[in-house]
Copies of this chain bind each other. A is one copy, B any other.
C-alpha cells in the first residue's frame, strides 16, 4: 500500500523545534515574508532561513519568490499525515481491528 510521501520522520522532526512551531503558528494566520517571520526571533537571518528551508522540505510550508522577497505559506494538507498517524495509534489502543488497523500492522508507516 506504500504511502507516497511517507515522511513522518521529517514531519515530526520539523515540529520538534519551538522556532519552527512558532513559524507554523504564525503562518496559520496567513502568508508572510521571510523577513517578517524572522523579526520576532533573536537569531541571525541565515540561522532562521535554515528553519524555513527545513519546514519547506518537510512539506509543512510552501514558499515562492517574487522580486527579492520570498513569501511563505502553510500547507494544511501535510498536517493530515501527522493527524492520521496519531489517529491510527488511537485506533490501536481502542482495540479496533478494522481496515485502519490492518493498514498499520501491514507495516506501512511504521
Contacts and interface: CB of A to CB of B under 8 A. Distances in A.
A interface residue count range (under 10 / 10 to 19 / 20 to 34 / 35 or more): 20 to 34
A43 interface: no
The quantity of this chain's copies bound in the complex is: 2
A32 interface: no
Contacts of A52: none
A13 B82 CA distance: 13
Given A12-B12, A15-B12, A17-B9, A25 B104 contact: yes
A-B complex: 5 closest residue pairs judged by Cβ atoms: A28-B92, A12-B16, A13-B16, A12-B15, A22-B110
18 contacts: A8-B15, A8-B18, A8-B21, A9-B18, A13-B13, A13-B16, A18-B110, A21-B85, A21-B110, A24-B89, A25-B110, A28-B93, A74-B93, A76-B90, A79-B89, A79-B90, A83-B83, A86-B86
